[in-house]
Structure 1
Amino acid sequence: MIINKQPLPDDPAPSDSPPSYETVNADLAHAKFQNEKQLEPVNVFPWRRHSSATSSPNPTPISKSPTSSATKGNGKETSFWFPFKASKPTREVQATVLGLIRDLVKEQSQNPAASLAILESCAEACSGYDLTLSSILQEKSIEGHTPMYWAIVKRPPDGEEHGKSVPDLLTALISHATPLSPNTIADIRHACLLTSDQLLFQRLRMSPEFSPLSGTDEMLLGATIPPDAITVENVAGDEGAFTANFEVAYFQKRMLISKHVELDFIARARMWRLEFLIAESSKRRDAPRQGSWCISLSLLENSPPTWIDSRLLVPEPTLTSSDTLLSAESSPPPISPSLMDRLRSRPAKPKPTISIRLQSPQQLVAPLPGRTKSRHTKDFCSAIIVSLDDSMMGSSLQYT
């Protein structure tokens, strides 16, 4: 909380008192969120990036308004948002920064530019006291959670905002907090799960700051390949049923080189992971054969246990116009008609849809905190694992 007071005669601090949240320049326009059909990743501002760029364009930086800083006395620029003199101890500066951030998250200001100006001023003040705003933002200083957790919990889901993008406050908090620690990422994921905000979770998942690619996948996909797309729809009239649609880029190449593809999503108040992997050696009798391609379905952290009976459907991939053109250009013209030419001229018969059942023999449970996998017992199972070798149609995924 910022309190206005009269300056002391010898006070070196600026004579203008910091404005309250309500008195920020009224001419600042409210940020409008774009209504887009496709999900866009949460991008940090260009001056805060610590990871490789994504394929989508970076948001335009919002400059400080003229009221956020001024030149006083000796010509030094002083931020109006931070009311401390240089003589204040570091712990008091840190306490004030925490208080300002708490107020920002609690009030959820409708003026994004004002929130950005406050965070920028906090970052400048921290740099002068050997503090880092990134570490302060990742402290669980607000009722046992990070500011990003509360920014997610307090905001309406994307679906209730007519497809609007992520609010600038959350984007700014993540921008100043990067690089994110594993504990911070887990706290953000937990907030998305509690609010069942699948759309926001997918935006975050497509951000390299939140879900960085492995070095191998980064080399394979680069910056021009769109990320994996996941959409979830609840089945009307059934409280537990849902459908999830996955579009995976370079599936076979990633399986052959990276040897796994992980797809995380939120559905029915649970966080799920559908994973394609290559089986390793195991001493269990029911384990898949080493080297075989497998499908795994499991629950992730903080998800309640459940029974599940599902099917994975893989339709025949469709060729794009560029793929068709490339195929036509790469094939040399035939010298004379042959049997192969006549076979090629026939209309191709569509391949049947691959159908693989994923059913849990026991209740599916999520791993305990601090563990990546839960234990398999007679009453609970940690994951449903099916080998593609067990299905005649499923095994064709390795070659199609």
Structure 2
Amino acid sequence: MATNSEVFDNKSLASLPPPYENVSTSTSSTVKIEQANIEQVKIELTKTELTKTERTQAVLSHLCDIISTPNFLASSVAPIIETCAAALLPEEFSDLLQNPNIEGHTAMYWAVVNCRREAFSMFTAHIPQFSSVCYSDLRLACMSTSNHALFMQLNLGHVINSKDESLRHF
């Protein structure tokens, strides 16, 4: 039978885990990477030599990253969206969010489908009034994800125009 001194010998001390202060966490390195990405977005979108089309494409690219990249940090969503919004006129940014320019759907649709609540919330803050195209896409997103709560919160059951009336029969 082993005694206490045999169980805790010097060999077992050598296999102890390293002290916590020496261990780098993936979260802290991810935060540093995301902060660097935010700065890179700011630098890219504030270049004065970009044409309107180039600026719009750059903003759209960053919006796609936010709504489609797995493990995108929620803390970096707001600064990137604010930077993107500042790069365009308010009505241009609102239109960009509501046009089906990402695989045939709006950025709003993808924010709902990919469960990006932070992005969805930030997007809605930049849309003074939803277009009928956006309403239709949001209905589809809520139905495809079975998100009845958001469907009701956005009041998507009401007819916006005569083209939308057929959706009330679901």
Per the normalisation by structure 1, the TM-score is 0.30
C-alpha distance in 1 between matches for 2:52 and 2:97:
16
Supply the AA of the counterpart residue of 1:181.
S
Q: CA separation of 1:122/1:95 partners in 2, compared to 1, >3 Å: closer, same or farther?
A: same
- 2:77–2:119: 8 Å Cα contact kept in structure 1? yes
Task: Quote the residue 2:48 is aligned against.
Answer: 86
The unaligned stretches of length 5 or more in structure 2 are 1-29
Q: How does 1:179-218 map to 2 (within 5 A)?
A: 179-205=129-155
SS of equivalent residue, structure 1 residue 81: helix
State the Cα RMSD in Å.
3.4
- 2:112–2:142: 8 Å Cα contact kept in structure 1? yes
Task: Quote the residue 2:21 is aligned against.
Answer: none
C-alpha distance in 2 between matches for 1:68 and 1:152:
23
Per the normalisation by structure 2, the TM-score is 0.66
Q: Which has the larger radius of gyration?
A: 1
C-alpha distance in 1 between matches for 2:59 and 2:95:
12
SS of equivalent residue, structure 1 residue 135: helix
4+ residue runs over 4 A deviation = none
Deviation at 1:118, TM superposition (A): 0.6
C-alpha distance in 2 between matches for 1:193 and 1:167:
16
- 2:106–2:134: 8 Å Cα contact kept in structure 1? yes
Higher-helix-fraction structure: 2
- 2:139–2:151: 8 Å Cα contact kept in structure 1? yes
Q: CA separation of 1:108/1:202 partners in 2, compared to 1, >3 Å: closer, same or farther?
A: farther
SS of equivalent residue, structure 1 residue 177: coil
SS of equivalent residue, structure 1 residue 145: coil
Structure ranking higher on relative contact order (CA contacts 8 Å, 6+ apart): 2
The unaligned stretches of length 5 or more in structure 1 are 1-19, 27-66, 70-78, 156-165, 206-210, 212-263, 265-272, 274-299, 301-368, 375-381, 384-400
SS of equivalent residue, structure 2 residue 142: helix
Residue deviations 1:89-127, cap 9 Å, x none? 111111111111111111155522311111100111113
- 1:82–1:125: 8 Å Cα contact kept in structure 2? no
Residue deviations 1:29-83, cap 9 Å, x none? xxxxxxxxxxxxxxxxxxxxxxxxxxxxxxxxxxxxxx967xxxxxxxxx85241
- 2:66–2:72: 8 Å Cα contact kept in structure 1? no
Q: CA separation of 1:175/1:192 partners in 2, compared to 1, >3 Å: closer, same or farther?
A: same
C-alpha distance in 1 between matches for 2:71 and 2:122:
13
C-alpha distance in 2 between matches for 1:80 and 1:23:
12
Residue deviations 1:223-274, cap 9 Å, x none? xxxxxxxxxxxxxxxxxxxxxxxxxxxxxxxxxxxxxxxxx4xxxxxxxx8x
Q: 2:123 aligns with which of 156, 162, 173?
A: 173
C-alpha distance in 1 between matches for 2:127 and 2:71:
19
Higher-strand-fraction structure: 1
Aligned residues between the structures: 137
Task: Quote the residue 1:107 is aligned against.
Answer: 69
Task: Quote the residue 2:165 is aligned against.
Answer: 372
SS of equivalent residue, structure 1 residue 141: coil
Task: Quote the residue 2:33 is aligned against.
Answer: 23
SS of equivalent residue, structure 2 residue 80: helix
Supply the AA of the counterpart residue of 2:59.
V
Residue deviations 1:197-237, cap 9 Å, x none? 112222323xxxxx6xxxxxxxxxxxxxxxxxxxxxxxxxx
- 1:82–1:121: 8 Å Cα contact kept in structure 2? no
Identity of aligned residues (%): 26
